[in-house]
């Protein structure tokens, strides 16, 4: 681990973050180094679940995101999301309000916020949780950076849940990357009932699972000593 001029920001490798070497498949899209800010101890505690979805989420999607995040953190899971508007924001806030831990993986450098209205949320996460970016300070943010961010979220998560997403949602990049990595990918049950999207059936054919109850996620997550998990989350 290397600490740059701003002592509140550290440079870490993905190996430092996960506490283990990466396999050949994980190395494909893995960033060389990451910028991290926040008090969460490394390596990251198990279990870590990404909750992602539409920026322009429906009221049902927002409620579902909050419910899923709340149930997961009550079982000591760490919630990972991308600080985007909509589903991401809802998941982060629910984790914080329930007294759990959350990680924001940014598509911008740590000194920028997108969307701007999430500035206070980003500061809260940096002060009490953990924010991660693979982009150096001063970098001009490009649309592809958010796709890269989603791949990194899939890499550092033990599982991914897509709560709500259109056929063109950036969350689908994370879904496909989770499947490529062999990570569990869950699609929230409400999406399956929609007739305006076709991606769920494609992902289900490649191994994604329909999620009907958040406890189903907990059953397949990596196990860790409860005492160790509590210590890491403190």
Looking at residue 227, its pLDDT comes to: 33
| Model pLDDT, residue 226 | 40
Q: Which of 36, 75, 44 is nearest to 216 (CA)?
A: 75
Helix/strand/coil for 21: coil
Angle between helices 87-97 and 119-128 (to 10 degrees): 40
Q: Which of 29, 23, 233 has its CA nearest to residue 128?
A: 233
Strands (E), 134-218: 159-164, 185-188, 209-211
CATH fold group of domain 45-131+139-233: Rossmann fold (3.40.50)
pLDDT along the chain (234 residues), means of 10: 57 95 96 96 92 96 98 96 97 97 97 96 97 94 95 98 95 98 97 92 97 93 49 36
Q: Which of 89, 103, 230, 213 is nearest to 158 (CA)?
A: 103
- CA gyration radius, the chain: 16
- pLDDT for 229 equals 38
Q: pLDDT at position 34, please?
A: 97
Q: Output the pLDDT for position 233.
A: 36
């Amino acid at each position: 681990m290397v600490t740059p001029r701003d002592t509140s920001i550290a440079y870490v490798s993905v190996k430092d973050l996960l506490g283990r070497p990466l396999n050949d498949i994980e190395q494909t899209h893995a960033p060389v180094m990451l910028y991290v800010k926040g008090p969460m101890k490394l390596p990251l505690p198990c279990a870590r679940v990404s909750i992602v979805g539409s920026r322009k989420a429906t009221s049902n999607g927002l409620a579902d995101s909050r419910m899923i995040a709340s149930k997961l953190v009550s079982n000591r899971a760490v919630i990972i999301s991308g600080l985007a508007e909509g589903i991401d924001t809802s998941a982060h806030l629910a984790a914080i309000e329930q007294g759990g831990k959350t990680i924001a993986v940014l598509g911008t450098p740590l000194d920028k916020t997108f969307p701007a209205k999430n500035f206070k949320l980003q500061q809260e996460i940096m002060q009490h949780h953990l924010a991660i970016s693979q982009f150096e300070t001063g970098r001009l943010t490009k649309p592809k950076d958010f796709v890269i961010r989603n791949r990194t979220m899939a890499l550092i998560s033990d599982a991914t849940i897509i709560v709500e997403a259109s056929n063109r949602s950036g969350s689908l990049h994370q879904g496909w990357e989770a499947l490529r990595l062999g990570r569990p990918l869950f699609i929230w049950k409400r999406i399956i009932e929609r007739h305006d999207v076709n991606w769920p059936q494609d992902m289900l054919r490649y191994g994604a699972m329909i999620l009907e109850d958040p406890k189903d996620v907990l059953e397949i997550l990596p196990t860790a000593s409860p005492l160790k998990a509590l210590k890491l989350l403190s």
